[in-house]
Amino acid sequence: MEADQKRQLLNRLKSIEGHVRGIQRMVEEDAYCIDVIRQVHAVQKALEGVSSLTLETHLNTCVTTAIRGEDVDERQRMIGEIVSVFQETGKL
């Protein structure tokens, strides 16, 4: 992973962390339930963005290297990992 991509991911995760703490405060202060749900949804969308960026990075680095390489087993392993991730998320 390149330094710029790593920095982007860490910045997003730090932002999400702050957002989650904000939700925690909302719960502690008995905020309106729908407002809490909306904030949780925003965090979920932000995490999806982190996941997408991580997947894009993985495809452009590790997977590309494996597909261009001579090691058939490594290529199959990489493809299996990608399929597994999509099966786990139900987005296949």
In this structure, what token pair is assigned to residue 41? 């949804």
pLDDT bin (cut points 50, 70, 90) of residue 2 is confident
Domain-wise residue ranges, the chain: 3-89
Instruction: For residue 62, give the nearest of 74, 51, 50, 72 by alpha carbon.
Output: 74
- 38-86 pLDDT per residue, tens: 999 999 999 999 999 999 999 999 999 998 999 999 999 999 998 998 8
**CATH T-level topology, domain 3-89:** Methane Monooxygenase Hydroxylase; Chain G, domain 1 (1.20.58)
In this structure, what token pair is assigned to residue 42? 């925003």
